Amino acid sequence: MEKLTSNEKQLQKQYMNEIKLDRKNKKEFDYSGDIILDDVSYTYSRKTPFEFRALDNATIAIDKGKITCVIGTTGSGKSTLIQLTNGLIITETGRTRIGDYQIPAATKKIKEVKKLRREIGLVFQFPEYQLFQDTVEKDISFGPINLGGNKEEAIKAVPELLKTVDLPVEFIKRSPFELSGGQKRRVAIAGIVAMNGNTLVLDEPTGGLDPQGEEDFMNLFLGLNKNQGKRIIMVTHNMDQVLRLADEVIVMNKGKVIDKGTPFEVFADHELLKQIEIEPPKIYQLIYKLKAQGLDLTGFAIRDIDDFVKAYSTTMKKKEG
């Protein structure tokens, strides 16, 4: 880790004083507001030949109630960034703010860690590998019980949670290890939803799934956002998924946030995608070809083929008129 500048030390002292006042004056924190990562940094394998600065003084706001996708090449800092949101790792500079709750840099222990992780559920890539209980019911209810929730209420909620992730209620007494890969993943996600937090953070949640499995999970995440109002933060390499789901897109490169915008704004910028070596969604590959031939559709909000047809028709009518 690089030595802190005098200004960074002064800011850290200011943040620590702020959080002391917050804890003195507040009995409860509200974790539902915007998540602000303010000048955050993180270094892996410090003081070894493998030292790697994954985040380099990055700053970004992640809005409440929206689906935000984080994109960038391998090693750009995406997964490290999202792990800051529930205190799994702590920034070396700046601070993390979740609603009105703050985690200043170099915090040794998060006093409210159980409440924070109940509100911000982190789903790793291949979450089915996190299953370990002998029944689906125990696995889904484990999180809320372990974080201090009422055991009876947690178990009572399991049937509805199975419906939420589109699994039969009859699975409740089955071993999760008897299920298919996609079913296991649904159980794991149900366990995160069980904690009833306002935010789900997903790291490559559809990795290894077939196209139908990917489609099913995209519908699940959309439903959790639109029907239950949950903020979804998702890291993915699949730009077609980003185009379909995202309200906002965060673009990362070499540990820094280099852009943020709607998927239409980000994907309309062909030079940006070439800079970060990201292949655009299939429909935007067609849009780029049309633009090169003099037909520019990049000003339209195009998610699917229906949007494309409308934009194409509108543009052609203007040309003909």
Q: Strand order of the sheet with strand 35-44?
A: 52-62, 35-44, 95-98, 101-104
Tell me the fold of 6-275: Rossmann fold (3.40.50)
Please check the confidence at residue 3 and state whether its pLDDT lies above 80.
no
Here the tokens at position 98 are: 């979740």
pLDDT tens digits, residue range 41-91?
Answer: 999 998 899 999 999 999 999 999 999 999 999 999 999 999 999 999 999
Here the tokens at position 300 are: 């339209």
Using 50, 70 and 90 to split pLDDT, how confident is the model at 262? very high
Using 50, 70 and 90 to split pLDDT, how confident is the model at 308? very high
- Strand pairing report for 248-253 and 256-261: antiparallel
Residue 138, helix vs strand vs coil: helix
pLDDT tens digits, residue range 164-217?
Answer: 999 999 999 999 999 988 888 889 889 989 998 999 999 998 888 888 888 999
* CA 125 to chain CA centroid, nearest Å: 12
User: In this structure, which amino acid lies at residue 168?
Assistant: P
Please check the confidence at residue 127 and state whether its pLDDT lies above 80.
no
In whole angstroms, give the CA distance from residue 250 to residue 55. Answer: 14
Domain borders along the chain are 6-275, 282-320
Residue 139 burial by Cβ neighbours in a 10 Å radius (0-12, 13-18, 19+): buried
pLDDT given for residue 21 in this prediction: 62
Q: DSSP for 79-116?
A: HHHHHGGGTSS--SSSEEEETTEEEETT-S--TTHHHH
Instruction: Name the percent of the chain in helix, strand, coil, to the closest 5.
Output: 45, 20, 35
pLDDT tens digits, residue range 221-249?
Answer: 999 999 999 999 999 999 999 999 999 99
Q: Which residue has the higher pLDDT, 234 or 125?
A: 234
Here the tokens at position 105 are: 């840099």
Using 50, 70 and 90 to split pLDDT, how confident is the model at 321? low
